C-alpha cells in the first residue's frame, strides 16, 4: 500500500481501485492514477501489481499526448 499512499501524497489523482483485495496476502484491486508527473515515485519505480499511471505530455509538435504506463494484470490459481 506504500505506492498507493505515495501517489496520493505526491498529488496524483486516484481514479480507480487503490484498496486491498481480500484479507490475506498483499493483493490490491486494479488501480489507475492520473495527473502524474515524471518525478513521482509511482512513475519512476516499477510496481509489481495491477497499478497503472496515465502521463500527459506535449509531443514535438506541441500536441497533448496521454500515455498509459505500467499496467500488469495476472491471474493466480490457488488451491484451497
Q: Residue 17 — very low, low, confident or very high, per pLDDT cuts 50/70/90? A: very high
- Confidence (pTM): 0.74
> Per DSSP, what are the bridge partners of residue 56?
66
Q: Residue 72 — very low, low, confident or very high, per pLDDT cuts 50/70/90? A: very low
Residue 50, pLDDT score: 86
CA distances from 57 to 21, 36, 52, 76 (A): 32, 10, 16, 35
Of 9-18, 53-62, 66-75, the least confident: 66-75
CA distance 80 to 68: 35
Max avg pLDDT among 14-23, 44-53, 59-68: 14-23
Amino acid at each position: 500500500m506504500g505506492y498507493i499512499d505515495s501517489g496520493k501524497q505526491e498529488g496524483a489523482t486516484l481514479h480507480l481501485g487503490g484498496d486491498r483485495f481480500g484479507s490475506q496476502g498483499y493483493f490490491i484491486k486494479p488501480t489507475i492514477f492520473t495527473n502524474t508527473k515524471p518525478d513521482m515515485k509511482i512513475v519512476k519505480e516499477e510496481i509489481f501489481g495491477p497499478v497503472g499511471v496515465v502521463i500527459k505530455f506535449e509531443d514535438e509538435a506541441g500536441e497533448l499526448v496521454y500515455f498509459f504506463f505500467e499496467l500488469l494484470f495476472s491471474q493466480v490459481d490457488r488451491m484451497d
